[in-house]
Structure 1
């Protein structure tokens, strides 16, 4: 047959690396290719005509295959082994089929062999490896498991059965995560394997059905089929329970040995089993001195039985306790420790040990105590400070209320201390304060308090008094103690003290800070009374002070809400009928009380800074009104009253200049400042300087109510005023009182002698005007001429006013020169 094929086919057959052979129906070789010669070691000539089965290791199997070809017409991958003449065996797989003639008659078999020797070797090796691997897997002490893509266990080894306590049959098909203490963490690790293809040292804990926990580290990777599809996960777990325990022990041992905190381990009965180096360092006890002893050997006895009962109760209930203890050192000293105690349970849940960890916090506590002391005590005198005083005063008030007793609050201010401090320096002053504080404190009882609240001021709180007079002996001792001569080196120093005393309870509810204010106010009364004494609080006087404060507040509110107005009283020449000026007078349009005159509110503010604000408001408002009148064709000098408080300012003139600058249309010479004679004479030097500086800018002065003070020719010479205003008290009774008439004659004469204008106040009748004209005084103001009026009424009045006919007809008095005066 082979001879009949084309040359091309023959070439292909010869080129084939697989052995090819044709066999007759009788089983004889009819043709072969070169590959057959090579695999058998027999030349073609010898092969042709021989029995094909002779070249196989198993001729019977070869013939059986041959019969199958005739029976089925073909065979595929039929396994046989060809023996080379050298003895070498070649494993092959035969594919064979019958071939026929043109009539369909079977002539023989065509067979092609594929050399699978290496493949069989590989398969055998795989088989051997598989068996070996299974043996290894079973022999492995590490739990090994295969898991499907769905997370179901597909196979396990014996170690897995042992670590879970579950047989292989029950494990296979179950959810792998069910056997871990943390199923969520297990599934997360499984997802990581699918995401990355593997995980290494993934920590998990397997729970045995008995409850025992085994710590493991998993190494896992996916496994695939021949197509590369992931079938599941192969995972191997390594038991690290003992390693973790060892690591914990190593760490614990390291902590135990090198910890800065003291560590003490006892048994369940509290007997000391072990201590570390820090324990011996802190307590001063050697290790051998405490082993087998009870921790109570360290007790300082500061903590009582109740303390330890509470501590052991807390340990029993919570398994731990923490707090502070004061313990005794071996040397006898004491230390404060911050202690943490924990109960250690055994497998049976019963307490096996106690572990106590403590730190020496003595230095910290001392520092805290120092800070606490500094927060409540004066650094210099070591007396209670203001904060502690407030607390003790509150306690004293509460105690007095409960016991129906009296508390005295004593405000103490040293007299003359500032002079000593300024002269000898702060060091001497500080030492003196310490000595005086100690001296005064020694006069008080144990329950009383003496506090330093700043500078040379102290406050004493005297408790448990039967009545307010019970404290008088103590007050006397305080005054005497403060006045004692103190020796500092070569210096003999002496001061005194002014004491203000108030009491609790009072008829009305009162707070602690109010008591201090009362005592402070009362102390000033002691100073005003001559110092070196005590003064008891007067409720009526306090009501007056409080009322004064409320009045001040109301007046300030009136200023802010524009409730003040100016009225103007004309100043005239009674002989000529000329309107020569106006006096600006403040009024208060009170929303409830109506229009109030100055006497109703100015005395309240005369010693308060508010007087300055009101005075400057008057100046500014009067100048603004003068500007308006000037625009209406009325140009008049206007006088304003200036109080002592306003004049005492060091920058009075500068402030006045600023106000004048706001009203540049007004000439400063048309503004007259009127001051009381008593105010002007109280500080002649300062007043003279103010008048001179004002004169430089054109502003003039008038002495108001002249004749009511201690007038002196020397004063008139020194004060460069331009006007004297005769007080209305002399004018009012001049017609009936010879003394008043004599004073009037003298004042008018003085004015003429010093070339000053004289203006009479209080002209209420024609007779008053006539008498004044006869004395030579032509300038006047008063109700007989005009009442003070609102600014808007003044221009019309000035236009229509006419003097009394008798005044005009009187002959001019030759004794006194007539001078025009601006009424302030």
Structure 2
């Protein structure tokens, strides 16, 4: 009979990250969800889980109070609690651990590391229970050894065959007996240790205060439990999970001490390896994106606190691709490792050099008096990057282009904005001739953003019919049917050619012109539906509606009038896509608008799902019919386990809430095949078709056939 899987209770009011983790753990654990501390306590009382994942910031009672109440109830007090939170500050971690939590995991979650840490915790708990069971059995047998010869024989059997090491001492701490497992773990034979005090096993890694606290607890409570580092006969240090219990005689006087322990060295080493893999680049050993984000955030806090400057340097190697293509990836890897070593040596001890991937690096230079002092440091970094490297008789050499920005700035800026600023400045250094650095200029950047066409020019484009709609097909990969198209706006500029929406839509986002453009898109899409219908093609069209247009008080009224102008439009011909983040700005109002539009026969889809809050509460309250999984997750799903886990979680959410789900950004047959295996049939992306003019759609629909791998 298959053993029941351990149960994990996740308590989080916005649990998409926990769902991501749960998606990767579902084969090993049963996952329960609670969206508040009160609900979590009730579920825990009804069916106590094996482990609890607990967020801190929640409405009602927060995670700390929830943990305190859990530990106050005898039936729940021993359940391991792990805080999973976006709060990185040490004071919160210390507070959580002081309340009795076993671990503290910060968001964003590193899935592989978190999964192993959870497994380790559950393994620790299993070992503790097993040790406790062995301890209770042995203690009972020793206490009653005068009563029954059979019980003595049973106790001797447990003592001899137990996998855990067992040591029995008298009240002075002198060893009177050990079992075979003790000898196997420590390397000492029974005769070598009889009459000795267990202190000869000490590794020296714990101080005097540690052992004083251990004995105080043993004498006051009658038992002690914890992890300890000891030393084998070979001299090797090892970790053990240890329980010491006082055995009393019939009068209640201490008679012996029984120590039961398990070797957990392999678990501790594996945990250390996973932690390193999660925070450091495998090839160069430099910090990766995750650790860089933490170092940068801490550096910004220190800079503000002490009134100092922080420099963020985005660095890209010049000519690295040529080396890689000409001499192969092994040569490229050797060059990257050598350049990384040289650049790291050129920095100060308190600075950070991280590898983002490929030939991109970021340096964080902390504790600067002013911007001028960074110049020689940047020069050293450039020189280090350009030092030649020998590889199989070849001399490989590259240079570097660097972009630099400083913190703090006149306006409030986040860590990711600093990285984008440095990246933009690096690009300017590339354009200026490479092998140099460029300092980010906030005033110049503002000018760059405003150099696009003015609002008046975009208004002219609207009235001059320069704006056009392209349509990207949406298909059912399993059945091979075309389910609809998404209308995507373009600007057919008379001088610059066809411009993507990113080049002009951001300019009008907060302008009343956004409403005019949005209504033009809606009317144009409806006319196109009618035109296709007259050609014998019924093809539903989805239209993107921005937050500003959606939140107009007369949105539903104007939509109703537009639909009335096209009486041949039927229910289901038009659907509206709204960004998850914009829909949540006015949840109650948007929910009402969606309900009223559904009465008009217009369905809604939640676009870019997974990039915002993705709360169960929002899914419950927003009556959308379709969830669109953001292409940023789909694009890297085949190489990024985290993105794959997010997609699995979103598909599970859609199934649980009886919503359809479609994947954006399907670029290859392999993407579609993997999505079908996960239960996602609907898709769009360059692997199916690029956005096309309306005139090209009918022929494409008539000719398209799904790949055989999808059908079979």
TM-score by length of 2: 0.46
Bigger Rg, structure 1 or 2: 1
| Larger relative strand fraction | 1
Q: Given the two structures, how large is their TM-score scaled by the length of structure 1?
A: 0.40
